[in-house]
Structure 1
Amino acid sequence: MEDRIGVGLVGYGYAGRTFHAALIAGVTALDLRAVVSRRADEVRRDWPAVTVHADIDAMLADPAIGLVVVATPNDTHAPLACAALRAGKHVVVDKPFALDLAQARAVIAVAEAEGRQLFVFHNRRWDSDFLTISVAIAEGVIGEVRHWESHFDRFRPAVRDRWREHDAPGAGVWFDLGPHLIDQALLLFGLPDGVLASLARQRDGAAVDDWAHVVLLYGERRVVLHAGSLVAGGTHRFVAHGTRGSLVKHGADRQEAQLVAGARAGSAGWGEDPDPLIVIDSEGEKRERAAVPGDQRAFYRAVAGAIAGPATSPVHPVEALAVMAVLIAAQTSAREGRVCAPDLLSDERNRWERRRVTP
């Protein structure tokens, strides 16, 4: 128990409550000790033994806190992460970890200067749907992938009064769901040559984008990333077409739904996915392949291992920087109506390639 890493969580909105607190509690090497939130009653109801702070300063002054998790609105991620790093804490920051590339580079520079570890919460690497189709692709089930589609669609026809839907920096569906879609694509296919994007506001009263369609260009390969807010059904999570066949994954990972329903991370049935992967061969014959279970606790287990040493970081800062570069390139493409290349420096690209070859 004495070896557990004390964790302080900043923010107890949807992400902090549903994902971070629950996943941290599911990792034995971590101990959630403090939460910074104005929702003190909610925190104490859910976590009676946790100290609740009204602001971050008191938590940063606590030597028992070794890891700070930032789960606040997007426009506060970078300044809060920098404050925690300068206080000598390791930091997990929700995606996207900054609003632009200059800010992202500044956060990474602070982490390096302070000798602290920075982790960006790209939790969807450990979703059942992505793991299932990734394994099939790695095994060469459909040969070389020429076309890939990744959909993160929802049916939310009414605009809600929450920061993600306000006209503010870091809001909108692309900044919300785009990092997930991009991170998964980069893991499979690497950095694209160019990005072509279209963003729209499709719902009545929408103040920010609620529809995104982004194409990543890799020579003749095309990777399509899509997020919509008016999709009641009839779509899929992933599709891959290759030189020897196709893969279709209809159902999405269930961990978020399980957490929302009150399940404990790691409880019976955790991460299990009843929806199989459909494999279609070159003759058009279909067969089912059982889904691989997902477990987003793997992110926090790896965080604990990296802090304790000598385990490798689950998401290296340069990987998160590459995601930011594609995120911003898509914004620019949609605004200017042209193909944009991710704006990474040569040394950043080299570091990213080294990380990809030897994670």
Structure 2
Amino acid sequence: MNNQITVAMASFGMSGKVFHGPLLKVNNNFKVKYILERSKSLSKELFPAAEIVRTYEAILANNEVELVVVNTPDKFHYKMVKQALEAGKHVVVEKPATLRSIELSELIELANSKKLVFTVFQNRRWDGDFRTLKKLIKEAPFGKLIEFESHYDRYRTEITPNTWKEEGDEYCGVLYNLGSHMVDQAYVLFGNPKAVTAHLKTVRTGGEVADYYDIRLDYKAFSALLKCSYLVMDPGPRYTINGELGTFKKWGIDGQEELLKAGNLPVGEDWGNEEPESWGTLVYTENDEYIEELVETIPGDYRIFYDNLFEVIRNKKQLLVKPEEALAVLEILEACLLSDKEKRTILL
């Protein structure tokens, strides 16, 4: 395809192997031609025709490359995105886009000045449960929203050795990892909160970084509660919405990540479908009648991210994940850090 976008991936770790690689592999609008692996050659299984390069400079200097996927550890995002933009490349960066909002502001300004596309891989906007949640909140069968609660709980007692996610400063740990997804989802649903209150903890024995958070985002007429813990053996609902007239609850989590981890490519009309036994439950009143019903889960589809990116780069369509939105999310995460440090509510 002459209209293909030539892509270089800046690493081939977990996110490259599980997310970006498979999504780009099945999208004929993109051609992954260069992959940075410092010493290994793991990407050959998925991309046998791609060239493995050993330095980032080899990507930056290559005029064929239009799009760079920066999917390296978080602390490298700012420098590598900046270098790619300065080299005239469009950029996809893993979340969080940078560690500090001031860095992201600079990158947004740089991308705009060079008329380059710059976006953040917020794939969980296309989880099936979240897509269903968006539709429900718009329709509001539960009446006026009173409280929204979201959980991303795991049970991992072990501390994985020699990994950047398990050691470092306050920017490591679950807040900037899973919290980047959960705060982004709340922002997509409700916009900027008026106030932020957060509690961070290290709950695993021997842990060095936060592996628990309890975040309260206060809006004008309701609150959004975001919780995560690595020590939850029997999780409750993933999402709970309480309204004036009813409640929605959804258990489990979107299955796309596990399918991708197992080596499945995201293809076919059934991709992202969820079995009826996993659908959410809505209870509400209508004309004084109590109603309980299952809510069919809209299929999850991470493929939408790169479908949209092609349309933006080639056809000047609207970007679905705007870097300005990622900036707002980072500012909320920074407010969480400050709230926990000073043990107070932060007004935004």
TM value normalised by structure 1? 0.92
Aligned-partner Cα distance in 1 for 2:347–2:37: 39
**Counterpart for residue 51 of structure 2:** 51
Matched, 1:290 2:291: no
1:269 partner letter: D
Matched, 1:33 2:44: no
Aligned-partner Cα distance in 1 for 2:302–2:181: 13
Pairwise CA distance, 1:309: 2.0
> What is the CA deviation profile of residues 273-295 of structure 1, one whole-angstrom value per residue up to 9, with x for unaligned ones?
12112001136542111111010
Aligned-partner Cα distance in 2 for 1:134–1:113: 33
1:5 partner letter: I
**Counterpart for residue 307 of structure 2:** 301
1:326 partner letter: I
2:173 partner letter: G
> What is the CA deviation profile of residues 96-145 of structure 1, one whole-angstrom value per residue up to 9, with x for unaligned ones?
11111111111112112222111011111110010112111211211221
Question: 5+ residue gaps in structure 2?
Answer: none
Indicate how the Cα distance of structure 1 residues 330 and 284 shifts in structure 2: closer, same or farther if over 3 A, else same.
farther
Aligned-partner Cα distance in 1 for 2:168–2:62: 36
Matched, 1:257 2:263: no
Pairwise CA distance, 1:184: 0.8
- State the SS of the aligned residue for 2:231: coil
**Counterpart for residue 143 of structure 2:** 143
Pairwise CA distance, 1:241: 0.6
On the 8 A contact 2:170/2:209 being kept in 1, the answer is no
Aligned-partner Cα distance in 2 for 1:96–1:295: 21
Q: Summarize the alignment of residues 2-81 of structure 1 with structure 2, pairs less than 5 Å apart.
A: 2-38=2-38, 40-81=40-81
Aligned-partner Cα distance in 2 for 1:195–1:251: 27
Question: 5+ residue gaps in structure 1?
Answer: 343-359
Aligned-partner Cα distance in 2 for 1:148–1:284: 21
2:320 to 304, 314, 317: 314
2:176 partner letter: F
**Counterpart for residue 178 of structure 1:** 179
Q: Summarize the alignment of residues 1-359 of structure 1 with structure 2, pairs less than 5 Å apart.
A: 1-38=1-38, 40-161=40-161, 162-168=163-169, 170-267=171-268, 269-274=270-275, 275-282=278-285, 285-342=291-348
> What is the CA deviation profile of residues 287-326 of structure 1, one whole-angstrom value per residue up to 9, with x for unaligned ones?
1111110101101111111011221111111111111111
State which drifts further: 169-178 or 189-198.
Answer: 169-178
Aligned-partner Cα distance in 2 for 1:158–1:311: 45
Pairwise CA distance, 1:169: 6.0
On the 8 A contact 1:239/1:249 being kept in 2, the answer is yes
- State the SS of the aligned residue for 2:214: strand
CA RMSD of aligned residues (A): 1.4
Aligned-partner Cα distance in 2 for 1:65–1:273: 37
On the 8 A contact 1:133/1:247 being kept in 2, the answer is no
Indicate how the Cα distance of structure 1 residues 91 and 74 shifts in structure 2: closer, same or farther if over 3 A, else same.
same
2:333 partner letter: L
- State the SS of the aligned residue for 2:317: coil
Aligned-partner Cα distance in 1 for 2:290–2:89: 54
Aligned-partner Cα distance in 2 for 1:40–1:6: 22
- State the SS of the aligned residue for 1:269: coil
Aligned-partner Cα distance in 1 for 2:345–2:9: 39
On the 8 A contact 2:211/2:230 being kept in 1, the answer is yes
- State the SS of the aligned residue for 1:188: helix
State which drifts further: 274-283 or 240-249.
Answer: 274-283
On the 8 A contact 2:147/2:222 being kept in 1, the answer is yes
Aligned-partner Cα distance in 2 for 1:173–1:234: 17
2:266 partner letter: A
- State the SS of the aligned residue for 1:319: helix
